[in-house]
Amino acid sequence: MRATGLSLFRMQRYSQVHRTPGSQGRARTPSLEELRRLLWTRAHPTGHVDEVWPNLYMGDVYVARDKAQLSRMGISHVVNAAAGRFHINTGPKFYKDLPVDYYAVEAEDNPNFDLSIYFYPVAQYIRAALNSPRGKVLVHCAMGISRSATLVLAFLMICEDMSLTDAIQTVRSHRGICPNSGFLKQLRELDLQLGRGKGRGAEAC
């Protein structure tokens, strides 16, 4: 889909969500309890796939394996956040009949799993994909609510200079998400690093 009136309207909506009224720079990083309340309040329904940022989609295993739908959507890049031994073993061979670039993240949906090591590499991959001609990115895991959500939130924080609160509000306006407690802690630490200026932030993208 090109820059039609509808897509421009979407961009305006995303910008309005991003610019929190009265905010100046990065707001205070919320506590874990405050973040949990934010995630659990008035959750948006979750389908197999939802566009959560212009040309950036989040989904589950069903859409990841539905090559006909991916083709109709014009998906050019797939980030599998549950690759390999973590049960969704698609890969380049699975998509060989589609013009799709594939990025594998072998992440477990476990609070003790360190997903933060993938925050910057995946954020940079998504940014480059979105900047490519006709770039449309699907980030998925098994249910499309924890691993994939965590990576998309990190992308918005790193490359779009959002606070964690703004990133959660942006995604939740389109899709119900629920990063596990360990991932939420890792995102909170990223927010603290970026807020202190110790993260590389948007310059890394």
- Tell me, what CATH number does 100's domain have? 3.90.190.10
Asked whether the beta carbons of 162 and 18 are under 8 A apart, the reply is yes
The residue range of the domain holding 158 is 29-204
From CA 42, how far away is CA 38, in angstroms rounded?
A: 9
List the beta bridge partners of residue 50.
58
Q: Is 193 among the domain residues?
A: yes
From CA 202, how far away is CA 143, in angstroms rounded?
A: 28
pLDDT in tens, 112-170: 999 999 999 999 999 999 999 999 999 999 999 999 999 999 999 999 999 999 999 99
- Active site members: 141
> What is the model's pLDDT at position 150?
98
Q: Is 179 among the domain residues?
A: yes
> What is the model's pLDDT at position 4?
38
| Regions of the chain with pLDDT less than 50 | 1-25
> What is the model's pLDDT at position 88?
84
> What is the model's pLDDT at position 28?
74
Q: Is 8 among the domain residues?
A: no
> What is the model's pLDDT at position 27?
64
From CA 177, how far away is CA 78, in angstroms rounded?
A: 19
